[in-house]
Amino acid sequence: MRLILGSGSPRRRELLAQIGVVADDIRPPDIDETPRKQELPRPYCARMAREKAMAVVADAGDIVLSADTTVALGRRIMGKPATAAEAAEFLLAMSGRRHKVITAVAVRRGERLWERDVVTSVRMKRLSDQELNAYLATGDWQGKAGGYGIQGPAGALIPWIEGSFTAVVGLPLYETASLLQAAGYPVFGGWTA
């Protein structure tokens, strides 16, 4: 039995390593991540994780783990900004407000699929122009849903969360371990007392 990580995210690999899980192979799926018309953030995120898991080529006995993280401001999906200007737009929209970070996880073995999603509330401090520009200059916004990563410099902009920190980073560890165990992967098999 091999574990295939259907994600190119280095953060997801690091999070899995925290619980002693190392993927046997990494196969980022190439799918269209465009939200459907009127699609809400939580169903969108769950659909993305599911479609990623299904798009990864794997043998019948292999376990495929995929995930998607979506930042939502109300009904608006804040994707990965293409430019610093778009990142600034996202960050200013969230400045001084609460938003939701949804991370959906899908685990597939053969035709079986196990899924969970985790919703975490996050508050971003009111950003000054200096803070916004300094953060944008780090480049840390690139490739991150909503234009920030809580595990990097933007952590200094987040005074409060309610929910799962690891889900905001990109992979809720408790739920992921539970799904992997359900699929027959020995998550805690390598641990010693």
Return the closest-CA partner of residue 122 out of 88, 149, 152, 144. 149
Whether residue 68 lies in the annotated active site: yes
CA-to-CA dists, residue 187 to 8, 112, 164, angstroms:
21, 18, 19
Tokens found for residue 44:
């969108």
Neighbour-count burial of 55, counting CB atoms closer than 10 A to its CB (0-12 exposed, 13-18 middle, 19+ buried): middle
Return the closest-CA partner of residue 170 out of 50, 66, 93. 66
Catalytic annotation, pick one of 24, 32, 62, 68 = 68
**What is the set of active-site residues?**
68
